[in-house]
Structure formats: C-alpha cells, structure tokens
Amino acid sequence: MVILGVDPALTITGYGVIDARQNKFSLIEAGIVSTSSKDPLPVRMNKIYQAMIKLISDTKPDCLVLEKIYSHYRHPTTAYVLGHARGVICLACAGKKVPLVEYAATRIKKAIVGQGLASKSQVQRMVASILGLKSIPEYTDVTDALALAIAHSYISKATTYGMK
C-alpha cells in the first residue's frame, strides 16, 4: 500500500510517501512545500494545491493521511490558517479521487512510539528507525508527515484484524 502523509501548514507543509507491505516500510519520497509570507494568501494556497496535485499524480498513493486540526483556545488563528492549507489538500484529494484519512496527533504518537504524549524527538527517532534512515530529516514537518503514513499502516491493519 502506498501511503501519502501530509503535515499541513501555511509556510511549510511537510509530506512523506511510503510503501507499506507486510510490516516492511520503504521511503518513496519526502520533502516540503514552502510558501512565502510575502505572497498573497491565494497565491500561497495555489502553490500548496498544485504541489499536492503533482505529488498525487507522480506517486499514485492509495490514500492520503492528515492530522486532525488541534489548536489551543488561546490561539484560534492557528486553526483558521491551518484550515486554509488543509482545505486545498482535501480539494486535491477529491479531484484526484484519493481517499482521505484523518487521525488525532495523540493517536499517531501512540501508534508510532506507544505513548500518546510522546515528544517530537521521540517520534523523529522512531520514524528514522522504522524507515532505516541514516539521519533524522531536517524538517520536523517531514518527520510528522512520515509518522502519519506509518501510523495509518499500523492502525488500518489493527482495524482490519478487529484490534484498536
């Protein structure tokens, strides 16, 4: 199964594509889509949208995995801004007919590290270990996207076999 994980944001959107077969994972592609805060919002959204369309066309994933929106009540603007990026990613999925799956951050951390409140560095090290990477990716956005893809593989298998 080819899984595309995406960690959406307005400035840096991380992505990671893996091939997951029989508990063996191989990295197909990973990187970022960056936009400039100097550009108008529609230009930034179009850049993310076009990058996702190209990524989906190039890698032909079986599904795309996003993290559910969470923002602290003291920072409501975070959810608003994230919503823009998530919206164009969801639109790309719909246009390319790729199933979309969402998980809470705590569910991803539990699947990857075994603890829902794991630190970023714990997730980074585990993702690098699972994929056999020689070094941790430079951007945490990439590691988070890869964690989404790996976790989906684990969670979908557990659901298939009646476990949670």
Residue-level pLDDT at 72: 61
Domain residue limits, the chain:
2-160
Check 7, 19, 39, 144 and give the catalytic one.
Answer: 7
Residue-level pLDDT at 76: 72
The answer to whether 62 is a known catalytic residue is no
The answer to whether 58 is a known catalytic residue is no
Question: Is the whole-model pTM more than 0.75?
Answer: yes
Using CA atoms, how far apart are residues 106 and 111, in angstroms rounded to an integer?
9
CA-closest candidate to residue 60, choices 4, 22, 104, 103: 4
Check 19, 58, 62, 141 and give the catalytic one.
Answer: 141
Architecture of domain 2-160 in this structure: 2-Layer Sandwich (3.30)
For the chain of 164 residues, list the mean pLDDT of each consecutive stretch of 10: 96 97 92 97 97 98 91 70 92 98 95 92 96 94 97 79 48
The answer to whether 39 is a known catalytic residue is no
Check 29, 62, 67, 144 and give the catalytic one.
Answer: 67
